[in-house]
Structure 1
Amino acid sequence: MWIKKFTIRGILVGLVCVFFLSPVCMAELPITSSFGWRVHPITGAWKFHSGLDLGYDYGTPIPAMFDGVVVQAGDFGDGYGNQVMLYHPAMDCYTRYAHMSGVIVDVGASVAQGEIIGYVGATGNATGPHLHLEWIVKGEDGGYVYADPIGLWM
């Protein structure tokens, strides 16, 4: 998988309503780290950050952004800690939710938009509780690439 920065517009209305329980403008998102190159907060190295970090309290329920199928669930020792990856067949894309305190879905399970899949935590390489959200879409060459999740709010 290679990295390319681009956005998808207008598709996140469901998450805004479900996750935040009310309409939220981009300025109100609790962003603690943006998508893109940054100094890693633990290693101090210049590294690409493939998602968007949203600062929520430990134990905050995390709903699925859209209907999907669980393709990964658990801790794989890759720095994400407890994580869930969903495939969304209607849009042919993936979302990853990472650093969770707990995962409550199993691989192969179908989940509905808004269904709770786990809880905010600080597992893996994390400096505090937050949701690390990744959006993985089909790129111009047909392969999957990371997209900037903030573009979904624009």
Structure 2
Amino acid sequence: MFLARSGTDCYVKDKRMGIHTGWDLNGPAGKGPDGDLGDPIVSVADGIVEFATQNKGFSPSWGRLIIIRHPQLGVWTRYAHMSAVLVKTGEEVKAGQRIGTVGKGWAEQWPAHLHFDVIKRQLPVSTYWNGIGGEAGVKPYFMNPLDFFMQNGWKREDFTSVNGACPL
């Protein structure tokens, strides 16, 4: 499964365009900066697609993205920087179902990766809101993906910080 390794940026890290609200995920180390371009992305749990766009110009930073509501878990998950979206708004998805492929973002200015968020409260502004007001503005809406996975049966050993940037 693609969500097996954490990558370059981690939860609540100050960035030039705002706060980093989730994880940037890459495949196994050694594939090169774009080695996972086109790799499959799967849903982490059963849910309903609340938003999906094939329009990579929809958001300057997110590009193609999907938001899935997981009513049984009380959260939403957001998948961004995709090269293809394989589901539609309103569609029911199952855990492990392929929902898209890894891309490089809107302007293809970054190495290929998946941006993954866990949203614990409905976002106040839009589907691509990236947080304002520093950590105090972000933490009420987003949870650390590691906490989400640990609460749902995963183990810390299931993840490797590719470049050591994200403490696990």
Aligned match of 1:81 in 39, 45, 63?
Answer: 63
Higher strand share: 1
TM-score by length of 2: 0.65
Between Structure 1 and Structure 2, how many residues are aligned?
121
Aligned match of 1:149 in 136, 145, 150?
Answer: 145
CA drift at 1:37: 2.5
Assess if the C-alpha contact under 8 Å between 1:37 and 1:46 holds in 2. Answer: no
CA RMSD of aligned residues (A): 2.2
Unaligned stretches of 5+ in structure 2? Answer: 28-35, 123-139, 151-155, 157-168
For 1:32-43, what aligned pairs fall within 5 Å after superposition?
32-38=8-14, 40=15
1:127 aligned onto 2:110: yes
Letter matched to residue 86 of structure 1 = I
CA drift at 1:62: 0.4
Q: Which residue of 2 aligns with 1:52?
A: 23
Aligned match of 2:49 in 70, 73, 76?
Answer: 70
Assess if the C-alpha contact under 8 Å between 1:70 and 1:106 holds in 2. Answer: yes
Unaligned stretches of 5+ in structure 1? Answer: 1-17
% identical equivalent positions: 32
Q: 1:150 is paired with a residue of what secondary structure?
A: helix
Letter matched to residue 119 of structure 1 = T
Cα separation, 1, equivalents of 2:2 and 2:26: 13
TM-score by length of 1: 0.70
**CA spacing shift, 1:33–1:110, aligned 2, 3 Å:** same
**CA spacing shift, 1:128–1:91, aligned 2, 3 Å:** same
